């Protein structure tokens, strides 16, 4: 009897971490994931735009070189002989200079996009892990509170038959409680592992 009454006096150890704390963490990671996803989309659009500008500028440069060649061909025989020889080298050099421009480099943006994608995925996984852990904590908290309420009823009645029945129920529910506790512990370890990686 003394052991049962002491279990009703002690506070529920899972009351230390209220569900609102899990909700706050969930909201923070959700907003972070949205920001990462939005930033990745912006970078992906920029990479596509740069690719389009590269193609258009190359085509424009080739058209300009062709126009210069036609102009030279029309204005003299020397132009007819010199244009086919000079223009391919000139066009190639101009295309290479365009590719070297910092504005046209997409390697850095592609790397950044991949990193943002990985970070957004990790944030999503953490959101799911915290959601699962909060549900497990709530279930365990409710289980403890239920057992405490049952014990209080038993202590008020003080009937031998009621006491035996409650003790039998507590023994039966102990296995499920320990299983839920182990499941929570496993999810905490998995969450830490996700954070580390």
pLDDT tens track for 77-92: 555 555 555 555 555 6
Name the pLDDT band for 67 (thresholds 50, 70, 90): confident
**Domain ranges for the chain:** 20-196
Closest CA to 64 of 101, 94, 104: 94
Name the pLDDT band for 57 (thresholds 50, 70, 90): confident
What pLDDT does residue 149 have?
Answer: 82
Higher-pLDDT residue of 7, 156: 156
Higher-pLDDT residue of 44, 58: 44
Q: At what angle do helices 2-9 and 107-157 cross, to 10 degrees?
A: 140
Closest CA to 94 of 69, 63, 58, 121: 58
Q: In the predicted model, is pLDDT for residue 47 greater than 80?
A: yes
What's 75's DSSP letter? T
117 token code pair: 């994608």
Mean of all residue pLDDT scores within the chain = 76
Task: Say which residues have a Cβ less than 8 Å from residue 155's Cβ, sequence separation at least 6.
Answer: 1, 4, 5, 8
What pLDDT does residue 96 have?
Answer: 65
What pLDDT does residue 95 have?
Answer: 61
> What proportion of the chain, given as a percentage, has pLDDT over 90?
1
The answer to whether the beta carbons of residues 33 and 134 sit under 8 Å apart is: no
Please state the pTM of the whole predicted model. Answer: 0.60
Tell me the C-alpha distance between 17 and 141, whole Å.
10
Over residues 143-172, the mean pLDDT reads 78
What pLDDT does residue 92 have?
Answer: 64
What are the Cα distances from residue 70, in Å, to 83, 86, 175?
8, 13, 90
Q: 91-147, pLDDT tens digit by residue?
A: 566 666 666 665 556 778 888 888 888 888 888 888 888 888 888 888 888 888 888
What pLDDT does residue 14 have?
Answer: 64
What pLDDT does residue 193 have?
Answer: 84
């Amino acid at each position: 009897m003394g052991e049962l009454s002491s279990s009703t006096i002690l506070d529920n150890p899972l009351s230390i971490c209220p569900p609102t704390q899990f909700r706050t963490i969930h909201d923070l990671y959700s907003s972070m994931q949205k920001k990462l996803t939005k930033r990745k989309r912006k970078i992906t659009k920029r990479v596509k735009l740069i690719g389009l500008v590269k193609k258009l500028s190359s085509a424009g440069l080739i058209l300009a070189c062709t126009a210069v060649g036609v102009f030279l061909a029309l204005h003299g025989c020397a132009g007819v002989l010199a244009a086919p020889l000079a223009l391919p080298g000139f066009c190639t050099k101009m295309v290479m200079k365009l590719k070297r421009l910092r504005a046209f480099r997409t390697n850095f943006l592609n790397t950044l996009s991949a990193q943002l994608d990985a970070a957004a995925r990790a944030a999503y996984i953490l959101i799911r892990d915290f959601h699962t852990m909060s549900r497990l904590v709530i279930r365990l908290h409710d289980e403890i509170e239920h057992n405490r309420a049952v014990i209080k009823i038993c202590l008020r009645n003080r009937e031998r038959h009621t006491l035996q029945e409650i003790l039998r129920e507590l023994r039966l529910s102990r296995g499920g409680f320990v299983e839920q506790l182990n499941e929570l512990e496993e999810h905490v370890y998995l969450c830490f592992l996700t954070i580390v990686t």
